Amino acid sequence: MTQPDLAHLAHLSQAMRRDIVEMVHTAGSGHPGGSLSAVEIVATLYGSVMRHDPADPKLADRDRFVLSKGHAAPVLYAALAEAGYFPREELLTLRKLGSRLQGHPDMRKLPGVEVSTGSLGQGLALANGLALALRLDGSATPTVFCLMGDGELQEGSVWEAAMASAHYGLDNLVAIVDLNGLQIDGPTCEVMDLGSVPEKFAAFGWTVMTCDGHSVAELHDALTRAKAHVGGPIVIVARTMKGRGVSFMENLCDWHGKAPNADECARALVELAE
């Protein structure tokens, strides 16, 4: 990948951060912390790694994206709007009555949303199903990307799905863990310690990679290699920071599910200016 492409991904990431802050502020509720921690991951996927077409959201050989941590809907909506799936102004309808931008992603309302999510711990199984369907169709090209939060790894259903991904040898599946270390009630290690996430996935038969989840260079490299991986499922454990990019939100679990007020929104947008 060339330097200008990386610069583009960095610019895209900043634009998505502004979108997230503005839309959650306008909505008056939502989840900025875990949206901001996943920005570079989602920007690198939609801005570079994934094959997709905003003009044809159902393109047959598109790569599929599953936002298992559905409460981070703002980061997905920002990526879709920046890519041109719908007008950016529509972002400000987030969570409003009649909006296509539901509080959690709704595949029946918004083109570009592959599957509906919101109840944590189900995205990996949904991704397994998509991957199995593609395999049955003989579609070798598309990859299914599934982004999970670290908190949701406490759901047992994630590990049921992880077992199945390995059992069925799904190498058209790439999981990414947004490892920001925080959940609503506090640090994950205090609320319910996950132990070593890479070791857990390895023990479930997965190939494991780790990277800096805010480095578009590292993410691009990891995602590209993961996409080409054969022989079984692969997971990228991306180390991230909750609230990343907005100084007063960084690394604070209070910003998991709280909207910035007008003053906070303005301060955040100053910090996130081009």
Partner 1 sequence: MADRATREALGATLIELVAEGRDDIVVLDADLAKATTTVKFAAAFPERFFDFGIAEQNMIATAAGLAAGGKTPFASSFAVFATGRAYDQVRNSVCYPNLGVKIAATHAGVTVGPDGGSHQMLEDIALMRVLPNMQVLVPADFTAACAAVRIAASTPGPVYVRLGRPAVPALYDAGFDFEMGRAYVLREGTDVTLAACGIMVARALQAAETLSAEGISAEVVDVMCLKPLDDGTIVASALKTGAVVTCEEHSIIGGLGAAVATLLSQTAPMPVELVGVDDVFGTSGEAEELMVHFGLTASHIADAARRAVARTI
Instruction: Report which residue type is found at 128.
Output: N
- The residue type at 27: A
> Which span (48-56, 85-93, 132-140, 198-206) binds partner 1, by CB under 8 A?
132-140
* CB nearer partner 1, residue 127 or residue 179: 127
Q: In the structure encoding, which two tokens stand for residue 52, read together?
A: 């997709």
* DSSP bridge partners of 208: 235
In the complex with partner 1, the residue whose CB is nearer, 114 or 150, is 114
Which of 227, 236, 153, 224 minimizes the C-alpha distance to 191?
Answer: 153
Q: Is 38 in the site for partner 1 (CB under 8 A)?
A: no
Q: Which range in 18-26, 71-79, 109-117, 200-208 contacts partner 1 by CB under 8 A?
A: 109-117
Binding mask 150-179 for partner 1 (x = CB under 8 A): ------xx--xx-xx---x-----------
Q: Are strands 182-183 and 186-187 parallel, antiparallel or unpaired?
A: antiparallel
List the one residue from 67, 131, 147, 179 that touches partner 1 (CB under 8 A): 131
Burial call 213-251: b when 16+ CB within 10 Å, e when fewer:
bbbbbbbbebbeebbebeebbbbbbbbbbbbbbbeebee
CB of 217 to partner 1, least distance (A): 31
Nearer to partner 1, 59 or 107 (CB): 107
Candidates 21-29, 33-41, 108-116, 257-265: pick the segment binding partner 1 (CB under 8 A). 108-116
Identify residues 207-246 at the interface with partner 1 (CB under 8 A).
none
Give the tokens for residue 106.
Answer: 């709704």
Binders of partner 1: how many residues, by CB under 8 A?
A: 28
**Residues pairing with 118 in the sheet:** none
Q: Which stretch binds partner 1 (CB under 8 A): 42-50, 126-134, 214-222, 240-248?
A: 126-134
- List the one residue from 22, 106, 171, 218 that touches partner 1 (CB under 8 A): 106
Give the E-state strand segments of 53-185 in sequence order.
64-67, 144-149, 173-179, 182-183
In this structure, are residues 146 and 206 in contact, taking their beta carbons and an 8 Å threshold?
no
What does the alpha-carbon distance between residue 97 and residue 242 come to, in Å, rounded to a whole number?
28
Site of interaction with partner 1 (CB under 8 A): 106-108, 114-116, 118-119, 122, 125-134, 136-137, 156-157, 160-161, 163-164, 168
